[in-house]
Amino acid sequence: MYITKIINIIKHLKELHPKMNIGKHIATALDGEDVWSITDKKFHQLLSNYQAKLDIVEVEDDNFEVDKIIKDGLSIGK
């Protein structure tokens, strides 16, 4: 169930940001999480949230500093 959704998000991220490797997307989305015990549902939720935040930012070039964008985005809610 969630695996299909996770794969679709990863495919979407790769299509929109072909120069950025998938490992960077996943590492950023799961930053600070215990990846050994994460559920598929939580993994999907984190990837979804990451994708939504990344989609909000209009990125013309894949050579951007995603870590700064995500860090800034996460600090908005605090």
pLDDT at 19 over 90: no
pLDDT, residue 62, reads 53
pLDDT, residue 57, reads 72
pLDDT, residue 6, reads 96
Bigger pLDDT: 20 or 45?
A: 45
Q: Would you kindly state where each structural domain of the chain is located, as residue ranges? A: 2-76
Mean local confidence (pLDDT), 8-37: 91
Give ∠ CA 71-75-78 in degrees, rounded to 5: 155
pLDDT, residue 43, reads 96
> For the CA atoms of 76, 10, 47, 45, what is the dihedral angle to 10 degrees?
140
